[in-house]
Amino acid sequence: MAIIVEKQEGEQEQAIGYNCIYRYETHRIKLEFDIKDGLWKIIPIEYNEQILNSIFDDIQFLTLDEQIQIIVKRLDQHFAG
C-alpha cells in the first residue's frame, strides 16, 4: 500500500489517500482510498462494475485495516468462485 500525497505551493505535503494493488492469479486490480470522503474506488474499472462495487458495501464505518481485510476476502471469494 502506498500513501498518496498532495502539496500545494507554500504548504507541507498532506496525505490525501492510499493506493494498493490486489492480485489473484492473472487478475490485477488497483484500489484507491480517498481519505477526505472515506470511499474506495477501482482504477481503472476493468471488470463488471456492479460486482466489484459491491465489495465496498457496508464497510465505511469500519477501521481502514478492517476495510482492507474485508475487501481482500471479498475479492478472493469473487475470483475463486
SS3 for 10-54, per residue? CCCCEEEEEEEEEEECCEEEEEEEECCCCEEEEECCCCCHHHHHH
pLDDT at 5: 92
As given in the structure block, the three cell numbers for residue 54 are 459491491
Q: What pLDDT is recorded for position 64?
A: 92
pLDDT in tens, the chain (81 residues): 888 999 888 888 999 999 999 998 888 888 999 999 999 988 865 666 666 778 888 998 999 999 999 999 999 998 887
